[in-house]
Amino acid sequence: MSDHLQIPDEDNPITLSPAVEELLGDPGTAPDVFSAVVAFLVDLRENAHPRLSTPVPGRPGMHSAPLRRDLGLVEYAVHEGQEPLRIYVSRILRVD
């Protein structure tokens, strides 16, 4: 996967963990999972707290949100004290 996903810039405040990059770059990832993750990333670019996102208890700054079509769960951190806002997508928990 290309390095541009790892380095956030002013236009893209989202950083993907190596595990998430691997999932997106794996040709074996099911197309419906791939499209659900990409749809989540699009939503996340528009709003750091997409619909159905909830804080993770006991982990300040961490949130989780379901993937579309109930294909899994995304965990991510929002660093709200920084300008511009920075988001780190740490892992995707798939339902397979």
User: What's the pLDDT tens digit per position in 39-87?
Assistant: 999 999 888 888 899 999 999 999 999 998 889 999 999 987 767 789 9
Question: What integer is the mean pLDDT of 24-48?
Answer: 93
Dig out the tokens for 47 from the structure. Answer: 């709003």
3-state class of 71 per DSSP? coil
Q: Distance of CA 92 to CAs 1, 22, 39, 72, 82, Å?
A: 17, 11, 13, 7, 24
Q: Are strands 54-55 and 72-79 parallel, antiparallel or unpaired?
A: unpaired
The structure's pTM equals 0.81
Which sign, positive or negative, has the C-alpha torsion 24, 68, 17, 94? negative
* Token reading at 24: 């997106």
Identify the pLDDT of residue 6.
Answer: 47
Q: Are 88 and 77 in contact (CB under 8 A)?
A: yes
Domains and CATH numbers, the chain: 3-94 (3.30.2310.20)
Beta-sheet pairing, 86-94 with 54-55: unpaired
